[in-house]
Amino acid sequence: MTKEKVLIRVENLVKHFPITEGIVFQKQVGAVKAVDGLSFDIREKETLGLVGESGCGKSTTGRTILQMHRPTSGKVYYRDTELTALSNKELRGLRTDIQFIFQDPYASLNPRKTVNNIIAEPLKIHNIGTPEERQDRVRELLSLVGLNPAFVNRYPHEFSGGQRQRIGIARALALNPEFIVCDEPISALDVSVQAQVVNLLKKLQRELGLTYLFIAHDLSMVRHISDRIAVMYLGKLVELAGRDELHNNTLHPYTQALLSAAPTPNPAAERKRERVVLQGGVPSPVNPPSGCHFHTRCPIAEDICKVDEPVWREIENEHWVACHLR
Amino acid sequence: MEEREIILDIQNLRTRFNTHEGTAHAVNGISYQVHAGETLAIVGESGCGKSVSMLSVMRLLPMPPAQILADAIEFRGENLISFPASEMRRIRGNEIAMIFQDPMTSLNPVLTIKTQLIESMKLHLGLNDKEATDRAIELLTMVDIPDAAARINDYPHQFSGGMRQRVMIAIALSCDPVLLIADEPTTALDVTVQAQIVDLVNQLQDRLGMAMVWISHDLGVVAGIAERVIVMYAGFVVEDAPVDDLYADPRHPYTAALLRSLPSVDSNPDEDLEVIEGMPPELWNEPVGCPFAPRCSFARDKCYAENPPLEETTPQHKSACWIDIHTGEFR
């Protein structure tokens, strides 16, 4: 892999949501440790896949990078700009470069606005163009994402799930961003429509030189779209590597379990397969296990894992892992 | 496959919903059989009628708006379609049990799981409280809930999603059903928990020998669990085949395209995925012709005019298509 320039740098990112007690005199009694110390880079024009089970903090990571949630501590750099040090007003100027695509195409579009208003809204907020120019830009964006430009005056309910997701993508592209966080953009879609949206995202990346952080829980689709894949468990990264490296040379036991749990459409292979079936569910992020967060479910855990937190380190070239036993 | 007794025989089932906006044709004349001890999977995308067809069999749809018609729904020699509601109640939860998709909403949050477990045993098996409770603890142990005797007095919110689905399975098994219908039981779960539940259900079926209908949209999960697969599209059965045949040699263009649109371990990530253009049809109109024709690369004039019947192409392998997809010619 050629080393591209780093576009987004995340340093020791932490996001804790406070749990409070009391109505008048609120005091903090604990915290949901959604994101608990992440460090990684996203390079220009690449797709970094971020996978993990529900509640592991992957969506919070995406939102915290874009400063939709302000982090508890840690830094996020976009090129040389430290996003975490900017005021909300200064951030607004940068919103033209960094954008977000939401998971639920039903909840993320205002049902009372026409497609035209939805897609033109970011242009209006940033005072770009005259109304006529904006109108043209909306039509251009619609054809870019494969929708008929004649649909500009329709409302979201007139579209199917896949088409709505295309509207969400068009809105994210309106300001010509460089970096887009895609938060499970295909999870709510049917199988035959997922492929359409994935192909569209890849086409746009080729044509517009976009960089994606692609959040998902479906490993096969993530492998298809990503250049590198990061695996998250209970607020921490456990492994990060190139997509083929991660599949062919899996190091962390959690990644192994996740890969072996993902079903494949091949009956003969499914019958033969020896699964690493993990016991139990994901522990609560309010009170995560000591040491390595994964030790309660880990098939190879040893005593040290209960005490010491493993260090996030580059064990081979471009292959990062946090495990005592590797 | 050896000949096994047919326990459920559905003939020409049609389900419609009469709404203010018109009539939705959810299920449009489907027929299939479930054999004793078999695992049958019904796959399809949302809105294809896979859940509605099973809910129609169980008569769990509000009528109106639903309207359920069938030539016959025979369950072990009895025609369910002629049964009054009270007779259906005798079958449901007893000989035919059901597990639902969402373990969060299908358990009652204000009752302990003990109350919910023993309810159907007292009703159908005539057990008293003590006997039912003992059996409930046995069932919870069977579905691998640790410390079952203590946890039986807990409320649903005290269990995780995967544990709740185990409780649902225990409830479904409480009256030794002959047929278990599982409606997307793992869709709401994480992959590692999904693997646990799939393993558990496989084991239980080996042990108890009931037949199972597993409804899913996930062709990966189905590959690991089913013996036979039915593919549904727009309220029709378009293909019905043993699992290996279906994945190795799909005969309906929809099944073939669906399988190709999934990224596999060997697929090249630099190539585009194959897509099925367009969307499933609206169900407002009485269907004419093959429902898949507008999205099908093989479609001819005949496909738009006449709906192909579900016929055997090879023994055990049925497909509803005029075209042989290997040659691209009429069959």
Q: Which residue of B has its CA nearest to A267?
A: B223
Percent of chain A exceeding pLDDT 70 equals: 99
The three-state secondary structure class of B232 is: strand
pLDDT at site B265: 66
Q: What is the pLDDT of residue A19?
A: 87
- Whether B209 and B37 have beta carbons less than 8 Å apart is answered as yes
Residue in this structure with the two tokens 């898949």, named with its chain if needed: B292
Does residue B172 fall inside a structural domain? Answer: yes
Task: Give a yes or no: residue B284 inside a domain.
Answer: no
- Where do the DSSP E strands lie in chain A? 6-21, 27-43, 47-51, 73-78, 81-82, 98-101, 179-183, 211-216, 228-233, 236-242, 313-316, 319-321
What DSSP element (H or E) covers B144?
Answer: none
Helix (H, G, I), strand (E, B) or coil at A214: strand
Which residue, B18, B43, B41, B15, is CA-closest to B29?
B15
Residues from chain B contacting residue A223 (CB–CB below 8 Å):
263, 269
What is the overall mean pLDDT for chain B? 86
**Which of A266, A271, A279 to mutate to probe the B interface, most B CBs <10 Å?**
A266
- Residue in B closest to A188 by C-alpha: B46
Q: What is the Cα–Cα distance from A13 to A25, expressed in whole angstroms?
A: 29
Put simply, whether B268 touches A (Cβ < 8 Å) is: no
* Residue B46 touches partner A, C-beta closer than 8 Å: yes
Tally of structural domains, chain B: 1
Residue range A48-68, pLDDT digits in tens = 999 988 878 888 999 999 998
Query: In this predicted structure, what is the pLDDT of residue B107?
Result: 86
Q: What is the pLDDT of residue B99?
A: 87
Q: Percentage of residues in chain B with pLDDT exceeding 90?
A: 14
**In the prediction, which pLDDT does A232 show?**
93
Phi, psi dihedral angles at A30 (to 5 degrees): 175, -175
Q: Assess A259–B contact: CB distance below 8 Å, yes or no.
A: no
With bands split at pLDDT 50, 70 and 90, how would you rate the model's confidence at A194?
A: confident
Q: What is the pLDDT of residue B266?
A: 67
Give the pLDDT score at B2.
55
Output the pLDDT for position A238: 93
A284 neighbourhood in chain B, CB within 8 Å: none
pLDDT averaged over every residue in chain A? 88
Cβ neighbours of B129 (radius 10 Å): 11
Q: Is residue B286 part of a domain?
A: no
**Residue B205 placed within a domain:** yes
Within 8 A of A195 by CB-CB distance, chain B residues are 261-262, 273-276
User: Which residues span the domain enclosing B190?
Assistant: 93-221
What separation in angstroms does the CA of A64 have from each of A33, A71, A178, A185? 13, 6, 17, 18
Helix (H, G, I), strand (E, B) or coil at B182: strand
What residues of B are in contact with residue A191 (Cβ under 8 Å)? 45, 217, 219, 258, 261-262
Q: Is residue B228 part of a domain?
A: no
Band (pLDDT 50/70/90 cuts) for residue A191 is confident
pLDDT value for B106:
84
Amino acid at B12: N
Q: How far apart are CA A54 and CA A277, in angstroms?
A: 17
Quickly count helices (H) and strands (E) in chain B: 11, 15
Residue A228 has pLDDT above 60, yes or no: yes
Per-residue pLDDT of B147-160, as tens digits, reads 888 888 888 888 87
Chains A, B: CB contacts within 8 A come to 122
CB A256 within 8 A of CB A4: no
Q: How far is A271 from chain B (nearest CA, A)?
A: 6
Most B CBs within 10 Å: which of A224, A258, A276, A279, as the mutation test of the B interface?
A224
Nearest residue, CB atoms, A202 vs list B224, B262, B272? B272
User: Cα A93 vs. chain centroid, distance in angstroms?
Assistant: 22
Q: How far is A302 from chain B (nearest CA, A)?
A: 21
Q: Quote the CA–CA distance of B223 and B58 in Å, as a whole number.
A: 26
pLDDT tens-digit series, residues A99-109? 998 888 788 89
In this predicted structure, what is the pLDDT of residue A251? 92
In a domain? residue B208: yes
CATH number, domain with residue B202: 3.40.50.300
| Helices (H), ranges, A8-75 | 58-65
Which residue, among B191, B232, B254, would best test binding to A if mutated, counting the most A CBs under 10 Å from its CB?
Answer: B191
- pLDDT band at A46, cuts 50/70/90? very high
Backbone phi and psi for residue B112, each to the nearest 5 degrees, phi listed first: -70, 160
Contact call for B258 and A191, based on CB within 8 A: yes
Measured between alpha carbons, how far is B296 from B14 in angstroms, rounded to an integer? 24
- Strand positions, DSSP E, chain B: 6-19, 22-35, 39-43, 66-69, 72-75, 78-79, 96-99, 179-183, 211-216, 228-233, 236-242, 311-314, 317-319, 323-324, 329-330
Residues 53-72 (A) with a CB less than 8 A from some CB of B: 53-54
- CA distances from residue B80 to A202, B53, B75 in whole angstroms, order as listed: 51, 14, 7
The ipTM of this complex is 0.75
Contact A199 B275 (CB under 8 A): yes
Q: pLDDT tens digits, residue range B223-234?
A: 888 999 999 998
pLDDT of residue A162: 82
- In chain A, residues with a C-beta closer than 8 Å to the C-beta of B46 are 190
Give CA–CA dist B43/B63, Å, rounded. Answer: 25
Query: Does residue B160 sit within a domain?
Result: yes
Q: Which residue in chain A has the smallest CA separation from B245? A: A267
pLDDT digits (tens, 9 = 90+) for B270-308: 777 888 887 778 888 878 888 888 888 888 888 888 889
Cα dist. B152→B108, B163, B165, B166 in Å?
A: 14, 12, 14, 12
- Residue A142 is given by DSSP the state H
Q: Is there a contact between B54 and B213 (Cβ–Cβ < 8 Å)? A: yes
**Which pair of tokens denotes residue A3?**
């080393």
Supply the pLDDT for residue A1. Answer: 46
Please say if the pLDDT value at position B44 is more than 50. Answer: yes
Q: Name the 3-class secondary structure at A235.
A: coil
The Cα B154–Cα B157 span in angstroms is 8
Residue B133 domain-assigned? yes
